[in-house]
Amino acid sequence: MSYQAPLRDMQFVLYELLKCDEVLPALPGFEDASREIMDAIINEGARLTQNVIEPTNTPGDREGCHYDPQTKTVATPQGFKDAYKQFAEGGWTGMSAPVEFGGQGMPHLLNTVAEEMMCSANLSLGMYPGLTHGAVNALLGYGTNEQKDYYLPKLISGEWSGTMCLTEPQCGTDLGLIRTKAEPQADGSYAVSGTKIWITGGEHDLTDNIVHLVLAKLPDAPKGSKGISLFLVPKFLDDGSRNTAFCGGLEHKMGIKGSATCVMNFEEARGWLIGEPNKGLQAMFVMMNSARIMVGIQGLGIGEAAYQVSLSFAKDRLQSRSLSGPKEPEKAADPIIVHPDVRRMLLRQKATIEGCRALAYYTVMQLDISLHSEDAEARERADDMVQLLTPVVKAFLTDEGFFCANDGLQLMGGSGFTQDWPLEQFVRDARITRIYEGTNGIQALDLVGRKLGMNGGRSVKRFFAMLQRYMEENPGAPFVTEVKDASSKLQSATMWLMQQGMADGEQAGAAATPYLRLFALTAVAFFWSRMALLAQQQLEAGTTETDFYQAKIHSGQFFVSRILPQASSLLAEIESGKDNLMAMTEAQF
């Protein structure tokens, strides 16, 4: 079967749970973001991704990108150029970009919905405009007026694309070890020299120009991460000449084969400083924070696509009889959806995907509030939630997206393992999302090491207060008891980290990954309680969408009964401390 955008589920989260059609139009700049306008845009996005983008996914995976060592250029798979052209001409590359530079000025939340559909339809193709969003954000925050006026209109229109050039052969997360150099020139530009690896969209044939944002060090830079600057290095210069920034080859990857992942060689390439000298990490983190939420949405998108395929298979595939007696006696066997273990895998996908969608959309709506509200306190509260939840969204949604694809493949048995079905590609494509833009282990360290203690713990205190307020105001809501128990366990884990982790970094490091998962499970349980309460209210009001709302309650019940109980083991893992990890010597491994 082909991908179908889950429009009704999206609308439920947007309008019934988050009430974004009331919240967003009240923000300056979003006056036109009515439900009618947003629905029209989402419906058009569904049409584009279903009819234009999705048909390129499997062929693009089979063909991959092509590197020409003579010209040092890359050709994307057949069909990508036309699909990207339609995507750009439809204005999708500039959905949330400022109107003054040619964007549509719509909320980031609406752009996130479009990104989810794009990632379900073809993750590889979605990577190209996805990284451009980060480049736009970095230039908006740190570029000069001249840089903004020249580059932003082309990037926002999709005529040009952008990259992030961080990683080098000898360093990834520890960017203080980079060796790329930038030598000042008499005309105010810089000669950038060095090699960057794993550069998404570093070279391709979709756009007329590629704008590389490159981390490098000035000759007199301080050592370590305090000596990193950010430079803009275009593929083509403003006079049309070719800059000396070349692709040295493509990575041979497990998945996302339609995405050009390049080795980039900068050979005294002309570049221009973005922001202040030795302050490049600040600007790059603007790109990375945007990219981390985007990658979380990639996990959500792939999980949704995998669920749709495996659900269709489970309804059609005949195998054995129901354990409670034949359900379709006129057929040779029953469809496998009657079997409890098949339902376990389907419900695990459905319950986590819908819970993750609520968490992600909530986080992005807080981003819109933090950037546009006229109320300083509201901006602060919203920004606290964005900072706290960004690593959770990135790590948990990509973990679960991969698990959903894996469950879908397992459900389909041997069929899932073949190329006759897209599940094996979904598993391969989903795997990278847990690694790039900061591995999920790094996200956990960011949550524990930076986000919990920010502003004296203000963000996490506000998170717990939000849960507490909901439970006090809705004592009879579905799953409130389970949310209360999970919240208590998360608070215990947080206190343990405050007592143990602040004095011993290894204690914090040992607890980080289970803590992030415990945090995510608690947050998703909170949203499931809210969603089930809304469903219950609709059913009591006599809705005609009985199956839709009953399914919400059933899905939430599955989550709190079969997934949320992990909270107990996660707390035990956290409180077990570091010794069971660190006591062994290297020789004993």
Q: Which residues are catalytic?
A: 437
Q: How far is residue 315's CA from residue 301's CA, in Å, rounded to a whole number?
A: 22
Q: Are 88 and 157 in contact (CB under 8 A)?
A: yes
Cβ neighbour number for residue 28 with a 10 Å cutoff: 8
At residue 131, what are phi and psi to the nearest 5 degrees?
A: -70, -25
* Residue 135 Rama label (left phi>0; alpha psi -120 to 50; beta): alpha
Nearest to 391 by CA among 483, 347, 461, 454: 454
Return the SS3 of 143.
coil
| Burial class of residue 320 in the structure, from the number of CB atoms within 10 Å of its CB (0-12 exposed, 13-18 middle, 19+ buried) | exposed
In 23-131, DSSP assigns E strands to: 66-68, 73-75
Which residues are bridge partners to 192 per DSSP? 182, 269
Beta strands at 66-68 and 73-75: parallel, antiparallel or unpaired: antiparallel
Q: Rounded to whole angstroms, how far apart are CA atoms 292 and 6? A: 23
CA 489/CA 55 separation, integer angstroms: 45
Using only C-alpha atoms, what is the Rg of the chain? Answer: 24
442-451 b/e (C-beta count within 10 Å ≥ 16 → b): bbbbbbbbeb
Taking the C-alpha atoms of residue 103 and residue 446, their distance in angstroms, rounded to an integer, is: 32
Of 102, 110, 94, 100, the C-alpha closest to 30 is 110
Half-sphere exposure of 159 (CA within 13 A, CB side): 9
